[in-house]
Structure 1
């Protein structure tokens, strides 16, 4: 049974292992842009239709959001075109919308479809704060985290089937399946935290490339932590959470800031040279 699972895992890595630009992390992705982007765009349009009355368009806050989004998207586009990713860059259909909702949240779907909720704007506090959150969310799309999670879910299903097959005649099969379920779920949580940390780093590079103050990314998470304490929100232990703790993110961002500044300068210079 273990050999069967190992064989499946090795086969997967041999078939579809690629590298995330900038961070260099190895990833598995079975899902192409051609497969996921039409669905992503359709779902985004559906979300906007369902929340039409909540979309804010002409306020200074909404205009600021779109301006920051355009600048961050421009930085991502420059990087991709200067690094042989023009086809991917052409596939993005950037859109930035502000939704009147007290939820402290923002997200970006594959292909560059972004939503901010008004609830996160006080945490952002200023333009650089908006750029920090925007960079992070856009980075998820850039690194294809959505596609990678879908691919990982497929592997998880295959692994579960292999465990069930290999233990079908085993009196302890139920125990094995329970163990696999718990283990795989914790693995997926760690996988998600890896995505969050990677998006923090990539987002920091992109916001600096776009001309924003990267140090504000640290302050955003300080404000997030303070808000959580004031509101009494209690996070689960980090090893059981899909996101790193606020404290971990603050330390990681502060430590990565010098490297992010170096990379941002390098990529902007590279983009200028390619354009000329």
Structure 2
């Protein structure tokens, strides 16, 4: 009887699926509404702020806020404010969550050594949200039933079932101990969208290439690409170099209108 109930739950869940197309034309299965994803993002960000140490350096906070504000101001739709928090940690990491939340770790600033390079990372993370990658990942976790009952999700009044798994699907695996990385196609989409977004915000897209060269140095030797869901550093750098033909004209058009210059603290 339990197996029959699970099958019925799965059938009902699949009936409610929304099929969407990603920015590159991939078919995406999305189980959750934008409101549900925003709620999950809010809950996850609140938990991270409770667990991590929030950086109190005013100069660093102002710098990261400046870069994030310029990137989010270039978004096609300005329908929500973006909350930006800097966490004091050696992690070379950043993330963006549905509902308008951005987290940046101070360790990233040792690798992203300019405002343009930081904008590369922030644009990339925001692109994951814009392209519904968060929804796609959470939906995949739900459909595969990774440690959960298929019908046992309560994004509403009762809280969130298996919260750590959902947080990992949102790209917060380092914090919660699960590893559910974005796939190669998602990473490539976020690169394409992120570079265009930073260029429209008046940041030099050529810095994206330098950023990933720095990432490669910081990350050490990387295994064969086929053993990873992410593109290799070399593959990623080559793709970013190809994107410059489209991104540089956008940058040249937007740079003259930039009024808020983001100064990296010394």
The verdict on a shared fold, with TM-score over 0.5 as the criterion, is yes
Find the aligned partners of 1:30 and 1:267 in 2 and give their Cα distance: 37
Contact 2:92 2:106 in 1 (8 A): yes
Distance 1:65 1:201 in 2: 22
SS at match of 1:130: helix
Alignment RMSD: 3.2
Q: How does 1:170-185 map to 2 (within 5 A)?
A: none
The aligned residue for residue 144 of structure 1 is 132
**CA offsets per residue over residues 213-249 of structure 1, 9 Å max, x none?**
00000000001112223xxxx4343222132111111
Q: List per-residue Cα deviations over 1:46-65 (Å, max 9, x = no partner).
A: 211232xx212443222111
Superposed CA offset, 1:22-63 (max 9, x none): x44432212111112112112212211232xx2124432221
In structure 2, relative to structure 1, the CA distance for the partners of 1:102 and 1:18 (3 Å cut) is same
Report the equivalent of 1:37: 38
1:25-174 superposed matches below 5 A? 25-51=26-52, 54-76=53-75, 79-80=76-77, 89-90=78-79, 92-157=80-145
Counting helix residues as a fraction of each chain, which structure ranks higher? Answer: 1
**Cα separation, partners in 2 of 1:119 and 1:267, compared to 1, 3 Å:** closer
Q: For each residue in 1:68-92, what CA deviation from the matched residue of structure 2 results, as whole angstroms up to 9, or x when unmatched?
A: 111111111xx13xxxxxxxx52x4
Give the TM-score of the pair, scaled to structure 2. Answer: 0.70
Q: Matches of 1:263 and 1:127 in 2, distance apart?
A: 17
| TM-score (ref. length: structure 1) | 0.68
> Does the CA-based 8 Å contact 2:91-2:105 persist in structure 1?
yes
Count of residue pairs brought into register by the alignment: 214
| 1:266–1:141 Cα change, 3 Å | farther
